[in-house]
């Protein structure tokens, strides 16, 4: 009777170990995901969102006014994507926030 319990426990442990290994391997190979709050971004917009995330911009709600204004903008990300595609970004309208 003891041998049956021992074999059952060993099989259960081996199954759990195999499942855990598969989960860890799956996590290690998953590509990074880009946050798309709308779920409707096309490939071009996903490039801009990826560039914006890579810029390291922080949520403005956690920053002072000066820090928030110094953050990279989505426009900066779009310009970086355009430059990486050898396209010329459109000139800015020059609208800037000021006190």
pLDDT over threshold 80, residue 11? no
The pLDDT of residue 29 is 43
C-alpha to C-alpha distance for 56 and 45, rounded to whole angstroms: 17
The pLDDT of residue 24 is 54
The residue-averaged pLDDT of 39-49 equals 88
Question: Residues 23-37: pLDDT tens digits?
Answer: 555 554 444 456 677
State pTM to two decimals. 0.51
The pLDDT of residue 39 is 83
Q: How confident is the model at residue 81 (pLDDT cuts 50, 70, 90)?
A: very high
> Which residue from 51, 95, 58 is spatially nearest to 77, judged by alpha carbons?
51
Domain residue extents for the chain: 1-30, 35-90
Judge whether 78 and 92 are in contact, CB under 8 Å. no
């Amino acid at each position: 009777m003891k041998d049956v319990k021992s074999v059952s426990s060993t099989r259960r442990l081996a199954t759990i170990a195999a499942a855990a290994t598969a989960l860890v391997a799956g996590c290690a190979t998953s590509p990074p995901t880009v946050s798309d709050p709308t779920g409707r971004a096309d490939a071009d917009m996903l490039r801009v969102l990826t560039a914006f995330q890579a810029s390291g911009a922080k949520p403005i709600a956690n920053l002072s006014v000066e820090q928030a204004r110094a953050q990279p903008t989505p426009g900066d990300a779009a310009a970086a994507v355009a430059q990486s595609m050898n396209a010329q970004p459109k000139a800015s309208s020059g609208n800037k926030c000021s006190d």
